[in-house]
Structure 1
């Protein structure tokens, strides 16, 4: 090995270490992977899913539990999609894989007017196909490559445009209860993934659907987060941390906390208010006020 190659390998290992540490912590915190699991890694050909696959393969060798890893790619029929890239890459690395072929690209293009966001329909179609395949191959977990920045973007997207306090969960059970989805990169910053992917020189496959839409509101929110992190380093970490330390009594959701039931308990020996003590008066509770009628 040449000195340059050795230095490059050391740099890659240095970039990989904090990612592995963060993934290990997330897996432990949310019990994402358990002994005997068969983990289906959804490999899109992007930097995030390549990095996720690398980390899980590393942990498969180093972790004190046994679990399987199988890579799955969905060929959505995008024009010019390089069909040989992923099979060659996975075969060379000796990784078990399946390539699924479903022409969802044409469906999305037919249903969504030009210029409109395709993400919702595309992800719904893709999710249904991947969930069905996971059941078919007996996968107990479906691993997705969403990272910290994806989670925070979703949080603010839901706040700004959906009036909901909702992000991406690190672990999720599908609506029909037949699949468990995990996001092992939940604690990993996108900038760390970018540096690692560049060092590894992954054969990146661009997306011609969501990846080609420049005016998405998600990009605007992502730019806002990038600015915050640049001007106030550590802010994104704190926002993510806040999602793990929720105080329902200090929010406004009446389903999470019984605000209406709050009252001051009567002092010892005080039997509290009794209408029979005031037979000549009627008390009515109005909109936020007590009206005394004489």
Structure 2
């Protein structure tokens, strides 16, 4: 098995596990795959097409590219890719670029406004095109970066959910790559020679908070390679008794009928045994 095949197998395994864990794909689904022209969305489309061939359920894919009116945006590059891989597709054009430029002061980050407008266009398009789900290409690194951004700059412990029901009740957003590592996606996209279209609107902005968090994670990962994986695992192993969310604690108490401050993972006997073992090994000695 060559390197490309190994990468594809690893990515397929991660995608299939996410689909199973969070019920992201069901029989009869018609899934809009939002393809921006970046490495993540190209890889997402490729993996879903592969899984479509072997999945035990039947589902349809519709690739959609949104031209947001950025000067010189090469939509034809993405369209040629759709044609080459043989996927049903739609090319959309909405001038959100001028709206972003009008609303965002010079020098300020455009990403929040741009992404909100893009999301609104895709939500409406999904309904018009008869799609019951929208697949986005956010991966493991996006999730852990968002976790840190939320904690550091918003004071909330949250990230990107793998499955999200939109507030308007019309759409379900899914993120099948939520377990996939960005480095695997980048390597696979390079090996497959996907025709990458860079985002010149926001990609050239300096000092974005997400870039700073990404650099921090890269530095920590160089010291301890499991950092990103551990953060992803932390999102799946929440211990309410060790947090300060009173509303969550009340929900735990109501749902379980037990004291929410009792740690479900530890008990006094286990802690005592662990402490005794450490002392026996000399861990308690002064050095």
Q: TM-score, normalised by structure 1?
A: 0.84
1:92-138 deviation digits (Å, cap 9, x = unpaired): 22111001100111110111111101111111110110000001111
1:198-235 deviation digits (Å, cap 9, x = unpaired): 10111000102222223101100011111122210112
Aligned with 1:167: secondary structure? coil
1:123 aligns with 2:115: yes
Alignment of 1:1-294 (within 5 A): 10-258=2-250
User: Residues 12 and 47 of structure 2 are in contact (CA less than 8 Å); yes or no, is this contact kept in structure 1?
Assistant: yes
Cα offset for 1:263? 11
Partner of 1:278: none
| Structure 2 residues not aligned, in runs of 5+ | 254-258, 262-287
CA distance in 2, matches of 1:192, 1:98: 28
User: Residues 240 and 260 of structure 2 are in contact (CA less than 8 Å); yes or no, is this contact kept in structure 1?
Assistant: no
Question: How many residues are aligned here?
Answer: 255
| Structure 1 residues not aligned, in runs of 5+ | 1-6, 265-294
CA distance in 2, matches of 1:156, 1:83: 33
User: Residues 39 and 194 of structure 2 are in contact (CA less than 8 Å); yes or no, is this contact kept in structure 1?
Assistant: yes
1:157-196 deviation digits (Å, cap 9, x = unpaired): 0111101111110000001111000000000110111100
Higher helix share: 2
User: Residues 250 and 260 of structure 2 are in contact (CA less than 8 Å); yes or no, is this contact kept in structure 1?
Assistant: no
Cα offset for 1:83? 2.4
CA distance in 2, matches of 1:17, 1:212: 33
CA RMSD of aligned residues (A): 1.7
Cα offset for 1:80? 1.0
User: Residues 241 and 260 of structure 2 are in contact (CA less than 8 Å); yes or no, is this contact kept in structure 1?
Assistant: no
